[in-house]
Structure 1
Amino acid sequence: MVFRKSVKVRETGAESDKQNAFGIRHMQALLMFFGMVFGYFLRVNISAAIVPMTSSRTDGDAYYDWDTSTKSLILSSFFWGYVVAQVPSGMLAKRFGGKLVLGYATVLASVITILHPLGASGGSWQIICALRVLIGLTQGVLYPSIHTLLAKWAPRTERSFLATSVYSGAQVGSAIILATSGFIFDSSMGWPGIFYISGAIALAWSILFLVFGADAPHNSKMISKQEREYIEKLTGSGLESASMTVPWKSFFTSAPFYGLIAAQTGFTWGFYTLLTEIPTYMNSVLKLNVASNALLSALPYFVMWLLCLIVSPISDMLINKQILSTTTARKLFNTIGQWIPMACLVGMSYMTSDERVEAIILLTIGVGFNSAAFCGYLVNHMDLSPNFAGTMMSISNGVANFMSLFAPLIVGAIVADEEDPGEWRIVFFITAGIYLVGNFLFIVFGQATVQPWNDLVNSSTRTQTIGTTGQSTAGAIILAE
């Protein structure tokens, strides 16, 4: 039976390979893209709002006299819940599907976001911290759920483009919040408006996603048979994956998986350093108040989004035309995405207040070329194991974010005088070193081939399959390809 199915896929393969037009897979990717955009609305809104929340104004907005340590506590509390939620989120997405887990979690996160102004009334920073932890818990499902969905919907011939397009929503969401926050604060709503607007938009998206989203092609009522067969042939994610036992031992004895974790940790550490510390450096050392110009703050992330849409089709083209192997392409683009920002950080560390324009250019290049790493480590989970991509993402994203929590602590320990360029130079060289080591380990240990443990099934099922057909499900997949 398994052999016949593989032959059928072969016979329809030529017709299915012609799937180039806009299809249901692209509609699903578009829904996921906006899920990333609005998910980052819920994540970044506090970073934009905390300035007017703690700045004395004469327009009647509430003002809270929170000191620097309290504000840091509020800003970091999101990650307490976020890191804890990673592995459970991956398991939930695998068991119940990414659609339900992500959809209902976003509904809950949206309601909690709308409650932020009420929670802050009276200056209770403890309540805001608790709400941010809850936001972290609910948004911890974002990457594992999206990865679980992409493993079902993104054919390997389009994997870089679809996955990168979806995840570029993070940059779009960050940029929109940074670019529009000033207008919201100056409106009649004041700073509470950013919570009301971001919460309402995310809530509307979650309802649409629960109605029109689908866990896999076979769950969609709108997809054609031709497109469904095309996707199922080129994903390698089996229909039975939800009931498959997670091969934990195989994960933690897999050198390619450790290489992937190293690359993701390097990227996350560098990205958060660029996102959180560069504005302070430019304000203190370069005497450039980036925070006063919302559009300037958003510029690097708009550039990153644009480069995502340029770089990812190039990656797919190089792989599909067999100019580069998938493994080589993943390592090449991850190197571009981490070592070019590494060089930009080193260059920025020597900038002076007379070189502001050059510093902005380096920052924009550094953040922009981060996008190439999306065609490297970020899609590598699906390369290694389509059936367990979401679970693997939950582990690697949890480790990467946990390690990156130490980045601001290191900055605080080294930078005693924010106007001392020598102290900042040490911070940037440490970050550059982490970029260097993380990507180097990915080059050495990384792979982009499906691992044997991707197709592990229960022993009784495996025995029956082999006894009936003389080959495993993995063999059928290989034949179909």
Structure 2
Amino acid sequence: MENRRWSSEEVLVELDPDTTSTSGLCCFKHKTRFLILVLTTLCLTSVLSNILTFNFTVICMVDTPKIVKNDSGRANTTTPFDGFSKTMTEEQNDTLNVGFASMLTKFMPHDAATAHIYASEPETAAEEEKEEGLLTTIMKNYGSHDVAQKKFHWSSTKKSYFFSAIAVGALLAAFPVTVMIAYAGAKKALLTVGLITTVATALCPFAVDTGDHFFIIARLLQGVALAACMPVIGCLTSAWASLDENGLFMGIATSFIQLAPVFTMPLSGALCVSDIGWPGVFYVHAAVSLCLFGLWAIFYTDSPADSRWIGDKELRRINEGKVCLLLKKVSDTAGEQSIVIAAIDAKADKPVSTVPYGAIVRTPAVWAVWVATLANFLGVYLVILFSATFLNKKLQYSVADTGVLAAIPTFIQFAVKVTVGPASDKIKCLSDTAKVKLGNSVAFLCMGAALIALYYIPFGNREQSLVMLITAASICGFNVAGFFKSATLVSRHHSHFVMSVSQMLMCVCMLVVPLIVQFMAPNNSDEEWHNVFVIHGGFLVIGNVFFCIFGSGEPAAWALESWNLKKKPTRFSVGEDAPSG
């Protein structure tokens, strides 16, 4: 047969069952794509869980005290003269702390004159050290069965550095990760950042003990992995989901944001009060990450056609009606057979058309998605990052109870999300635009109302405050039927770019929320926290108004150029030229 070159065109392909023959183990009864979905979601959950470890352990991190011996008069220092061993850490002033022999042989008048400073001002010195963010401790007289422990007392500013380092790391890695996904594929990119977050999490206890700068570096490395989450979700959905399963894949994959606190908070609470202590929180999370990413590497491939776990039937199900790029050469029947498989899998030697960046950024519906993303994650990260602190410090729940209670709202939100996402796809009485605006309004307005309600509820009534916090976090699960779904409906096969920007906005929110809380609640007073909640509730209301005005559920003009679902699929066989579209 004379050699032919297929024209570089995008077409819709319907695969004839008689024209393909792929070998697959097919041991999952044509449900391999759902296994891939679950494993990917768990890996993304692990990435965020590693980040959240510090958000809980910050309230229970303890270690063996280290006494800094110097003559500065600071907390944890001994008095500068021999014979009087009282420290600045509130030991009892009794004869057991006085060495009379040393006082008689090494007595210095100046030391005696200044002794009252060390005996009467321990609290002042300790508070000064606490504000400077140094390690301090309050020692007690323990029995033989007690273990002296200390807390890592950081200033509010230093803690905000630890929180914000995640967002900085994600922002710095956003462009390199996007390039790596484009050239090396989502699998290599996610495995790379997965290794980074696993090692960084395992080293966190060492970094904390070594110094604040080392801990900030570890947090930056944890943030690097976050940059890959949304782009990987885009790759997963476009490659492995069939056209009528996009809502399901998007709903479950994005639920890693809810699953991470559900896993991390109760586990961290249990480990913190156990004999293992707070270092065990980091070690266990690192071990879980290693196992999950190893399992994901076995099953995931960037293309379903390359997977040995998938059969012909499921491959046809995934690719039915999708836009495909034809750029392969054929010279005989066997060659053309491979062309058909490559075509339905949308794999090409080089891109046919570039992403219309200019048209995308000029589209109001896309800006509606981005504004909604910003408002959504300002509220979501407030709950994720600070719910444990709020429950423990303001509502006075114990550490163990805080771990369980902090997980409840995100668990409910996960259940809402995986239910609402597929249900939205099945509603036929409303247009796609009406459905995304309705879903977004339920999520944003109800969450905003619950946060604003916290402005009026005294925190002394902790049951009502807890109910409002749980309501705010739970109802947000409707966002999967709102701006999340709108992003894929409007941009279609260009959704990877829209979601990459959404990922950057998520990182900005993670960076900004701790700064907002630090600025508005530096003293953790009730009035300050009331203001924090009402401001974030206002963000959600404003974001929803913007989305309802400009949001859409219909594909943009630049997304229809090669994605026309109303066009009848083209069937072609050996010996035919590529169809003209």
Measured against aligned partners, the alpha-carbon deviations of 1:382-415 in whole angstroms (never above 9, x if no partner) come to 2233433233212122124315533333333334
Name which of 23, 29, 44 aligns with 2:37: 29
Structure 2 residue corresponding to 1:402, chosen from 480, 484, 508: 508
Instruction: Give the structure 2 partner of residue 203 of structure 1.
Output: 290
Q: Which one is further off, 90-99 or 61-70?
A: 61-70
Q: Aligned pair 1:447/2:552, yes or no?
A: yes
Q: How many residues align?
A: 452
| Paired residues for 1:99-178 under 5 Å | 99-122=187-210, 124-178=211-265
Q: Aligned equivalents of 1:377 and 1:407: distance in 2?
A: 21
Question: For residue 34 of structure 1, what is the amino acid of its counterpart?
Answer: L
Find the aligned partners of 1:167 and 1:377 in 2 and give their Cα distance: 12
Cα deviation code 1:222-248 (max 9, x no counterpart): 222222222222555762577353332
Residues 130-173 of structure 1, C-alpha deviation per residue, up to 9 Å, x if partnerless? 11111111331122112221122222322222221222233122
Q: Deviations over 1:72-110 (max 9, x none)?
A: 211221111112323432332233221221122102211
Q: Output the CA distance in 1 between the equivalents of 2:254 and 2:10.
A: 37
Q: Is the 8 A contact 1:237 1:386 kept in 2?
A: no
Structure-2 residue corresponding to 1:470: none
Query: 2:39 and 2:530 mapped to 1: Cα distance?
Result: 41
Cα RMSD for the two superposed structures? 3.1
Rounded to whole Å, the distance in 1 between the matches of 2:55 and 2:556 is 40
Which amino acid in the other structure matches residue 385 of structure 2? T
In the other structure, the counterpart of 1:289 is 397
SS of structure 1 residue aligned to 2:568: helix
The aligned counterpart of 2:116 is none
Deviation per residue, 1:36-92 (Å, 9 max, x gap):
221122111121222332576964778544333222211221111112323432332
| Aligned-partner Cα distance in 1 for 2:413–2:449 | 17
Q: 1:208 and 1:308 mapped to 2: Cα distance? A: 25
> SS at 1:159's partner residue?
helix
- Post-superposition offset of 1:282: 5.5
Is residue 2:539 matched to residue 1:434? yes
Counterpart residue number, 2:101: none
Q: Within the alignment, does 1:363 sit opposite 2:363 as a pair?
A: no
| CA shift for structure 1 position 271 | 0.8
Tell me how far apart the structure 2 counterparts of residues 393 and 61 of structure 1 sit (CA, whole Å): 46
Structure 2 counterpart of 1:39, from 47, 68, 78: 47
- The TM-score with structure 1 as length reference comes to 0.84
Partner of 1:80 in structure 2?
A: 168
Relative to structure 1, is the Cα distance of residues 207 and 200 closer, same or farther in structure 2, using a 3 angstrom cutoff? same
**Quick one: which amino acid aligns to residue 289 of structure 1?**
Y
5 Å matches for 1:315-394? 315-318=424-427, 322-353=428-459, 355-394=461-500
Letter in 1 for 2:277: G
Instruction: Give me the whole-angstrom Cα distance separating, in 2, the residues matched to 1:389 and 1:195.
Output: 35
- Structure 1: segments with no counterpart, 5+ residues: 13-20, 457-472
Larger-Rg structure: 2
Match of residue 180, structure 1, among 250, 264, 267: 267
Cα deviation for residue 4 of structure 1 reads 12
**Which residue identity is paired with 2:417?**
C
Q: Percent identity?
A: 22
Aligned to 2:129: none
1:479 aligns to what? 568
Q: Give 1:117 shift.
A: 1.9
Shift of 1:6: 3.9
Q: Which amino acid aligns with 2:288?
A: I
Cα 1:4/1:44, change in 2 over 3 Å? closer
The one-letter amino acid of 1:233's match is E
Residue by residue, what CA displacement relative to the aligned partner does 1:158-201 show, whole Å, maximum 9, x if unpaired? 22222212222331221111111122223343211111111111
For 1:461, the equivalent position in structure 2 comes to none
CA change 1:11–1:340 in 2 (3 A) is farther
So what's the TM-score if we normalise by structure 2?
Answer: 0.71
Q: After superposition, what is the alpha-carbon deviation per residue over 1:316-360, rounded to whole angstroms, capped at 9, x for unaligned?
A: 211xxx222222222211211111101111112111245322222
Structure with the largest fraction of helix: 1
Post-superposition CA distance 1:238-288 (Å, at most 9, x none)? 625773533322222222211110111010011122333455555666x44
Tell me if structure 1 keeps the 8 A contact 2:56–2:388: no
How far, CA to CA, are the matches of 1:224 and 1:186 in structure 2?
49
State the SS of the aligned residue for 2:60. helix
Report the AA paired with residue 100 of structure 1.
K
Work out the CA distance in 2 between the residues paired with 1:107 and 1:4. 37
What is the SS of the residue equivalent to 1:37? helix
In structure 2, the CA distance between the partners of 1:477 and 1:45, relative to structure 1 (3 Å rule), is farther
